Amino acid sequence: MLATHRLMCSVSLTRSMVTQCSSGCPTNRCRKRSSKLQLILIPLSSRTTPASSGAILKHILTRPHYGWAEIPIEKWRCTMAMCLALALPPKLKKVASVLGLKHQKADDKIALQMSKPRRPRGNEDPKGTYWFDDPERLQALYDYCKQDVECERELYRWLPPLVSAEQSLWCLDQVINDRGFYTDGALIKKAIAISTAAERAIQDELVAITGGAIETPGQVDKLLAWLSSHGCPLADLQKATLAHALRRTNLSPEVRRVLELRREAAHAAANKFPAMQAWRCVDGRIRGAFKFHGAATGRWSAGGPQPQNFRKEVDNVAAKFDAVMAGDLEKVQALGAPLEVIGDISRAAICAPLGYRLVHGDYSAIESRATAWIASEKDKLAQWKRFDETGDPHDEPYYQLGRALGFPEEMARARGKVADLAFGYGGGLGAYRNMAGEDDTATDTQVEGFKQTWRARHPQTV
């Protein structure tokens, strides 16, 4: 089961260009740029297992459009995944240093230089495209590639393999990331247009109110200074701080409006759409968004649009979707702050392509059930079992906890869930504040009381 020493590759970036992968996506989603490849290849036997950091060779070099036979994913071993499973740095340069390997990763300066066009010289056409491809630089690039192979090979020999179950899971991860998920291109474009118009309107109003002292809502220091000079000193511009400040009754109309504009602009969920646009391939799919073993616990993390943390579903999604698709800022404003509306429909951008249906599933209250099972909270497990059998909302443990915390019936389920998730993993006031919405008015003393009530109801967990 030998690996990279059977696959000696010297990759020349002398004709760097964005190419297309077999699915039609630019290869900047498959490790940025590809190029004309100059390869020294020792053929792989049927028993050989190729290894690479992040399986980069699999994604770029072995695609069928290069005329190579596809290497089955089951034969690949990813040293990046193997590093992550051991809580080692995923980057080749960093892990080689940490482990004190004999072969360190080479300086990539030459690769970066040769992957970009150089400036025209002397009598060369100023509109032409030229590259660093002289023999000296080519040899330096070959040496760089060889050193990377040596480093990769030594790392592979040092690392223990993933256990069988994790290796199979990694293979599934590659299939999922290669296939990607389809996105609604029309909605993405409309949402970006509405966001751009809304951001411009916010900026214009800020300039008008502050006399040009503040030009954008992102100028935090200037905003804090202006607010302080107008009788509203704040420690920061976090969501909770703004919500608390807006409850003041002595704010001038100008200060109140500046606070509202800052709050309207601070909707990170609206930024999902530019990220989706940047990552979207020409066939409408987003690929490579999920990072295997991205967290220390072994769970996935994500890059780019980060589909795992899209805003949860809200009311009136259909009307908000229709307003955005109409491309009318005033219609969107009638439903709420435009950037908030955009964020509310971000999940709608993930959809089925024409002729298909989107089917999804989710574990019901997995965090609450798992902690109860691990801690042997038999009463809570019995509550969840009863809820599964009856389907009665009043039997749901979240609702029952919310009522025990003193919330009215219409708020009990939502507030009970926040408390259960916040306190179930050792959290306290900070965790509760992070999960509670802006409309939560509980004082610090009350939240402490919620925590003590939760702990009294979960003696096995505590």
Q: pLDDT at position 361, please? A: 84
Q: pLDDT at position 64, please? A: 60
Lowest average pLDDT, out of 356-360, 372-376, 438-442, goes to 438-442
Mean pLDDT on 34-52:
45
Mean pLDDT on 253-257:
95
Express each pLDDT in 299-338 by its tens digit. Answer: 899 989 999 888 887 889 999 999 999 999 999 999 999 9
Mean pLDDT on 384-392:
96
CB–CB of 10/146 below 8 Å?
A: yes
Q: Cα(101)–Cα(106) distance, rounded to whole angstroms? A: 12
Across 14-28, 38-52, 409-423, 438-452, the highest mean pLDDT is recorded for 409-423
Q: Is 58's pLDDT higher than 80?
A: no
pTM to 2 decimal places: 0.75
CB–CB of 257/226 below 8 Å?
A: no
Mean pLDDT on 67-72:
75
Q: pLDDT at position 310, please? A: 87
Q: What are phi and psi of 23, to 5 degrees?
A: -90, 0
Q: Going by C-beta distance under 8 Å and a sequence separation of 6 or more, which residues neighbour residue 307?
A: 181, 286, 289, 290, 350
Burial class (CB in 10 A: 0-12, 13-18, 19+), 133: middle
Which is nearest to 180 in space by CA: 91, 289, 308? 289
Q: Is 441's pLDDT higher than 80?
A: yes
Query: How would you classify the pairing of strands 51-52 and 77-78?
Result: parallel
- Give the model's confidence band at 285: pLDDT under 50 very low, under 70 low, under 90 confident, else very high: very high
Question: Rounded to 5 degrees, what angle do the CA atoms 16, 18, 19 make?
Answer: 110
Express each pLDDT in 99-128 by its tens digit. Answer: 999 999 999 999 999 999 999 998 899 999
Written as one string, the DSSP assignment of 229-267 is: HTT---S---HHHHHHHTT-SS--HHHHHHHHHHHHH--
Q: pLDDT at position 50, please? A: 63
Q: Going by C-beta distance under 8 Å and a sequence separation of 6 or more, which residues neighbour residue 132?
A: 14, 113, 114, 118
Q: Cα(52)–Cα(11) distance, rounded to whole angstroms? A: 14
Q: pLDDT at position 258, please? A: 94
Percent of the chain with pLDDT over 70: 85
Q: Cα(295)–Cα(29) distance, rounded to whole angstroms? A: 22
Express each pLDDT in 137-182 by its tens digit. Answer: 999 999 999 999 999 999 999 999 999 999 999 999 989 998 999 9
